[in-house]
């Protein structure tokens, strides 16, 4: 049996197994097996058949956004509308066959937008992707290890050389037990490890932690072509979590989408200031939320952190303006910083 067949067999078995106390170990094991086979599938293999080619596009700008969707939902139309790059759009499926990068300039940041070929042929019948289709897209991304709008499970996991499996939790667990955790670990041939649940995680989340290469990223679900559906339908879609409804054709709600995109990217703009001068508001340093003074230093110059004496910060991250801070101080959006060297 090939890996694909094994995966499909396990998926079928999971689907037909009722979820209850008596089956939880069995289900946990099945899920561990499934994750193992999927990982094998993604491993670079010698036969090029299973290997994806990938798209070679230089990372650029302060953040990256990929347009993932079914064919002909309007991804290329969107790229052409929001950036100065033109990407061919047409009414037939798979118009786009490679990755086309463009740049959105917003609040002083350069956001790289990637137009990609549609995924899953014929899945989006009609003009708008409906709810089951959204689930289908999620499933595709899940199966390659991408976790959307979820944070990394708060589980401490450390494989050891000996000593067996030590299992602890700081909260009451309703989905996992010591026995299930052991079963799953054994499936991965791990017999010595330290495990600490700091959150009531599911078996799937525990498996994600063991496998380790999961990618956690924010996701906005954008429903285009609202000019073609009823107001009731638009309203229903707009109320779904993480959703934005737009029409590229009629240029509806695009500003709101940009605002939401900015929110989901969670970027922080920091302005620098030289001694005795006004801050430079024309050229912000763009960092991820949660950036420290040290991150700011690295962005300005490789060696700046080693010459750092202290910094003065004005803005919401400090109690006083300015406040003298060290390298570990956490910056906030629109703070101004002046760095003093040794
Ligand atoms: N009515 C309507 N049509 C739209 C809208 N946005 C895009 N279209 C049309 O939808 C068709 C498909 O658009 P594309 O931009 O090629 O879609 P795509 O997602 O890039 O398609 P692939 O590259 O083939 O996956 C084109 O004929 C567009 O003109 C919209 O908001 N309303
Ligand atoms: K198309
Ligand atoms: Mg396209």
Q: Which pLDDT value is given to residue 125?
A: 52
As residues whose CB is below 5 A from the ion ligand 2, the structure lists: 72, 95
- Calculate mean pLDDT across residues 105-124: 83
| Helix, strand, coil share of the chain (percent; to 5) | 30, 25, 45
Cis peptide upstream of residue 62 (ω within 30 degrees of 0) = no
pTM value is 0.83
**pLDDT range class, residue 303, cuts 50, 70, 90:** very high
> What does the alpha-carbon distance between residue 287 and residue 112 come to, in Å, rounded to a whole number?
15
Atom 10 of ligand 1, nearest CA residue: 74
pLDDT at 50 over 50: no
pLDDT at 127 over 50: no
> What does the alpha-carbon distance between residue 103 and residue 88 come to, in Å, rounded to a whole number?
16
Residue 227 backbone class (left: φ over 0; alpha: ψ -120 to 50; beta: rest): alpha
pLDDT at 7 over 60: yes
Q: Which pLDDT value is given to residue 61?
A: 87
Tell me the C-alpha to C-alpha distance, in Å, between residue 107 and each of 181, 267, 315: 46, 10, 18
Q: Which CATH superfamily is domain 267-341 in?
A: Beta-grasp domain (3.10.20.30)
Select from 68, 71, 74 the residue to mutate for testing ligand 1; criterion: most ligand atoms less than 8 Å from CB.
74
- Calculate mean pLDDT across residues 281-294: 92
- Calculate mean pLDDT across residues 328-332: 96
Q: Does 225 sit in the ligand 1 pocket, CB within 6 Å?
A: yes
Please state the atom number of ligand 1 nearest to the C-alpha of residue 248.
31
106 pairs with which residues across the strands?
109
Give ipTM to 2 decimals. Answer: 0.99
Residue 262 CA to ligand 3 center (angstroms) comes to 23
Per cent of the chain over pLDDT 70 is 93
Given a contact cutoff of 8 angstroms between Cβ atoms, the answer to whether 313 and 336 are in contact is yes
> What does the alpha-carbon distance between residue 191 and residue 189 come to, in Å, rounded to a whole number?
6
Q: Which pLDDT value is given to residue 95?
A: 87
**pLDDT range class, residue 79, cuts 50, 70, 90:** very high
> What does the alpha-carbon distance between residue 182 and residue 255 come to, in Å, rounded to a whole number?
50
Please state the atom number of ligand 1 nearest to the C-alpha of residue 77.
15
Q: Does 80 sit in the ligand 1 pocket, CB within 6 Å?
A: no
Select from 77, 123, 228 the residue to mutate for testing ligand 1; criterion: most ligand atoms less than 8 Å from CB.
77
Given a contact cutoff of 8 angstroms between Cβ atoms, the answer to whether 187 and 29 are in contact is yes
CA neighbor of 336 nearest in space, from 279, 292, 283, 289: 279
CA neighbor of 33 nearest in space, from 53, 19, 59, 14: 14
Q: Backbone phi, then psi, for 19, in 5-degree steps?
A: -90, 110
CA neighbor of 147 nearest in space, from 222, 218, 68, 220: 218
Q: Which ligand is nearest to the CA of 74?
A: 1
pLDDT at 54 over 90: no
CATH number for 63-119+131-144+217-264 (one of 3.40.50.300, 3.50.50.60, 2.40.128.110, 3.40.50.150): it is 3.40.50.300
In degrees to the nearest 10, what's the CA dihedral of 219, 242, 208, 176?
Answer: 180
User: What's the full length of the chain, in residues?
Assistant: 342
pLDDT at 311 over 90: yes
- Calculate mean pLDDT across residues 44-49: 50
Q: Which ligand is nearest to the CA of 118?
A: 1
| Domain locations in the chain as residue ranges | 3-43+153-213, 63-119+131-144+217-264, 267-341
- Calculate mean pLDDT across residues 96-115: 92
Given a contact cutoff of 8 angstroms between Cβ atoms, the answer to whether 244 and 238 are in contact is yes
- Calculate mean pLDDT across residues 81-87: 94
> What does the alpha-carbon distance between residue 248 and residue 244 come to, in Å, rounded to a whole number?
12
Q: Does 35 sit in the ligand 1 pocket, CB within 6 Å?
A: no
Q: Which ligand is nearest to the CA of 92?
A: 2
Atom 27 of ligand 1, nearest CA residue: 91
pLDDT in tens, 204-255: 999 999 998 899 999 999 999 999 999 999 999 999 999 999 999 999 999 9
CA neighbor of 116 nearest in space, from 51, 55, 50: 55
> What does the alpha-carbon distance between residue 246 and residue 74 come to, in Å, rounded to a whole number?
10
| Token output for 170 | 């700081």
Residue 58 CA to ligand 2 center (angstroms) comes to 24
pLDDT in tens, 137-166: 888 888 889 999 999 999 999 999 999 999
Q: Which pLDDT value is given to residue 49?
A: 44
Q: Could you tell me where the beta strands, DSSP code E, fall in 107-226?
A: 109-115, 146-148, 155-159, 165-169, 193-197, 215-217, 221-223
Please state the atom number of ligand 1 nearest to the C-alpha of residue 93.
24
């Amino acid at each position: 049996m090939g890996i694909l067949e094994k995966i499909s067999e396990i998926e079928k078995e999971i689907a037909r197994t009722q979820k209850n106390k008596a089956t939880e170990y069995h289900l946990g094991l099945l899920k561990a097996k499934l994750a193992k086979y999927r990982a094998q599938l993604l491993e670079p293999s010698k036969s090029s058949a299973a290997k994806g080619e990938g798209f070679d596009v230089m990372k650029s700008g302060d953040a990256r956004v990929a347009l993932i969707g079914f064919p002909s939902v309007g991804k290329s139309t969107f790229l052409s509308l929001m950036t100065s790059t033109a990407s061919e759009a047409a009414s037939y499926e798979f118009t786009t066959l490679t990755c086309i990068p463009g740049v959105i300039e917003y609040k002083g940041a350069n956001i790289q937008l990637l137009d990609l070929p549609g995924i899953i042929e014929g899945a989006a019948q009609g003009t708008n992707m409906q709810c089951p289709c959204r689930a289908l897209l999620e499933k595709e991304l899940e199966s390659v290890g991408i976790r959307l709008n979820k944070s990394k499970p708060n589980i401490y996991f450390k494989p050891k050389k000996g000593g067996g499996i030590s299992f602890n939790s700081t909260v009451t667990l309703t989905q996992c037990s010591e026995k299930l955790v052991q079963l799953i670990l054994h499936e991965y041939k791990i017999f010595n490890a330290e495990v600490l649940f700091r959150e009531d995680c599911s078996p799937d989340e525990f498996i994600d932690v063991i496998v380790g290469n999961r990618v956690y990223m924010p996701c906005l679900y954008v429903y285009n072509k609202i000019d073609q559906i009823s107001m009731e339908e638009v309203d229903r879609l707009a109320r779904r979590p993480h959703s934005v409804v737009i029409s590229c054709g009629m240029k509806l709600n695009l500003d709101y989408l940009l605002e939401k995109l900015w929110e989901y990217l969670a970027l922080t703009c920091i302005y620098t200031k030289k001694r005795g001068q006004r801050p430079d508001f024309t050229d912000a340093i763009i960092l991820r939320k949660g950036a420290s003074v040290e991150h700011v230093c690295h962005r300005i110059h490789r060696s700046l952190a080693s010459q750092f004496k202290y910094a003065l910060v004005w803005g919401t991250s400090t109690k006083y303006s300015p406040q003298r801070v060290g390298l570990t101080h956490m910056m906030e959006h629109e703070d101004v910083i002046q760095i003093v060297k040794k």
